[in-house]
Structure 1
Amino acid sequence: MKSPVPIKWVRPVKVPCTHPEKSGDLQPLKEIDLSRFPLEFRDSEELKSADDNVKRILSLEFFNRKNTMEALINEYKDSVKRHILDEESPEVRVAVMTAYIRDMQRYLELNPKNKLIKVRLKESIDKRKKLLKNLRTWDYKCFEWILEKLGLIYKPMPPIDVYRRVERKRSLRMLTTKYCEDIVSKKFVEYKEILENQQESFLEEKIKTLEWIMKEEKYCGVNPTVTPSDIEKTKEDLENLKASRSKK
């Protein structure tokens, strides 16, 4: 049986971890200069006076990806560390996680079927989010600074009592409830407009009725329930209504 309610539910598109909307990374992974030396050779005095060919052979261009990643992570750490020996502060840990996350995102763009990297990326994003949550509680100024420095957006997890899985039946129930509430509110607005359009004729009829009641009570000699002030007040309400409508 087909439902008479004109509601069409489409399952929302799942956002992968490689997208900034999911991870909160506004910037891609930094590009490192391959002519630089690896970390173990950067303070070498012999390389400063060595031949150009020797410098090129000992540069990152001829080393494996591990050395390049180490240099890149060190660059991220240097941009946020508190002092020269800082290795365990929350800022440094967030910077290291950010470098790994962006590297895995770039890798998954080329190899989207690698499930192991997908799982690691999801776990790393959740760990970084938890660390940012704690940093937000401990030091809010540092939290804002680290977001601006690394180009991040913090997207907290919804509370447990608010979070609900996306399910077809539940979503259809919610949409149906909203559809019925919209119908009720629309009917109320339409009925209110009808009553407002009848206000002027109602007040005119009320004035005539009050005048007739006052005349009959006077003729029968009973205690009056309608006074001239009541009629004047109704006439004043009618004039105010006409004035407000003319302004509109």
Structure 2
Amino acid sequence: MFTNIGLRTVLKTSAGVLRESSALCSAVSVKPWTCSSALFSGPTVSRVAGSFAVPPPVRHYARVAKKKTTGHDSQLRDLPPTMLKMDYAAVPLAETTDDLVKRLLSLELASHSEKLQLKKEQLIAKVQRDENDRSSVEVQVAILTARIRNYQEHLHKHHKDKANKRRMLMAVDRRKKLLKNLRLVSYDTFERVCEQLSITYTFPPEYYRRLTRRWQAKKEFCIKVFKAVQKQKAEQRLKMKQNLRATEKKEAKEEAV
């Protein structure tokens, strides 16, 4: 019984709202189906004379377009497209073939891995000790340099590639160790390798620890303790010297007597 009474009251109120909305629509001379949707959609400017004007909603403008980044200089830019691939460079017949076959054998239609392999060979030829040198420190540094620059070009386009970023950092650490050992063993060779490969060697910081308040307070406390200990040791040394002088004077007096 109570549920029926509740349903009746709800229906009566909804019917009253619909009558008011239809009356408002007729007064504004707007179609009822459009006016009802406008009433329930949000605040709009009223057209009835003597009523207050509701401000229009704020427009949501589009975001500012991101500036396009300039292209990263590739290490393969100095390789001309007419150059033959590494496998066909030593073949004399490849130079005398027609243009179509030469184009197929050139770098114009070569893959990125083939171009990268040719760049590695060029860097190796700059620093290797002799023609058969393939395992010296200089050759390893050249191979790592070509690999690191390839990773840098890739990450400039795909900056969210975490796997290749990790591989690049591992290669950078490996090259740092090799250059550090080469600098200690042969400084002239180290300078020549850095000059030929255009590598800027920077010294690593002495300490990698992050500075915090706790660490700074602990450091200051350790310095105070160290100074206090040094002061106590200096006082002990002074006392020992004084005692030694007093014993020496006493012995000298006893010998004189």
Which amino acid in structure 2 is aligned with residue 59 of structure 1?
Answer: S
2:76 and 2:116 in contact (8 A); partners too = no
Counterpart of 1:39 in structure 2 is: 86
Amino acid at match of 1:145: R
1:57 matched residue in structure 2 = 104
CA offsets 1:125-162 (integer angstroms, 9 cap, x no match) = 00000000110111011111111111112223334xxx
Pair 1:166 & 2:210 matched: yes
Mind listing any 5+ residue stretches in structure 1 that lack a counterpart? 1-26, 177-248
**Equivalent residues of 1:133, 1:156 under 8 A apart:** no
Q: Is residue 76 from structure 1 mapped to residue 120 from structure 2 by the alignment?
A: no
The answer for the alignment partner of 2:224 in structure 1 is: none
Q: 1:106-138 deviations in whole A, cap 9, x for unaligned?
A: 110100000011000000000000000110111
Does the 8 Å contact 2:148/2:168 carry over to 1? yes
Determine the structure 2 residue equivalent to 1:128: 175
Partner SS, residue 87 of structure 2: helix
- The correspondence of residues 185-224 of structure 1 with structure 2, limited to 5 A, is none
- Tell me whether 1:151 sits opposite 2:198 in the alignment: yes
Q: 1:28 to 1:67 in 2, by over 3 A?
A: closer
Amino acid at match of 2:209: R
Q: TM-score, normalised by structure 2?
A: 0.53
Give secondary structure in 2 for the equivalent of 1:100: helix
Partners of 2:183 and 2:163 lie apart in 1 by 30
Name the structure 1 match of 2:147: 100
Correspondence 1:29 to 2:46: no
Distance 1:172 1:29, change over 3 A: farther
2: CA distance, partners of 1:164 / 1:97? 24
Identical counterparts, % of pairs: 32
Ranges in structure 2 where 5+ consecutive residues have no aligned partner? 1-72, 221-257
Structure 2: how far apart are the matches of 1:169 and 1:34?
58
In structure 2, the residue corresponding to 1:157 is in which secondary structure?
A: coil
Task: Give a deviation string over 1:48-95, Cα, whole Å, max 9, x none.
Answer: 110111101111221211111111111111111111111111111111
Contact 2:84-2:107 within 8 A present in 1 as well: yes
Cα RMSD of the aligned pairs, angstroms, is 2.4
Does the C-alpha gap of structure 1 residues 170 and 74 become closer, same or farther in structure 2, counting only changes over 3 Å? farther
| TM-score, reference length from structure 1 | 0.54
After superposition, what is the alpha-carbon deviation per residue over 1:170-206, rounded to whole angstroms, capped at 9, x for unaligned?
58869x9xxxxxxxxxxxxxxxxxxxxxxxxxxxxxx
Quickly say closer, same or farther: Cα 1:80–1:164, change in 2 above 3 A: closer
1:40 is paired with a residue of what secondary structure? coil
Report the structure number with the largest CA radius of gyration: 2
1:59, 1:146 → 2: CA distance?
A: 30
* In 1, Cα distance between equivalents of 2:119 and 2:94: 21
Distance 1:53 1:73 in 2: 27
Residue identity matched to 1:151: S
Give 4+ residue runs of structure 1 displaced > 4 Å after superposition.
170-174
Kindly tell me the number of residue pairs found equivalent between the two proteins.
Answer: 147
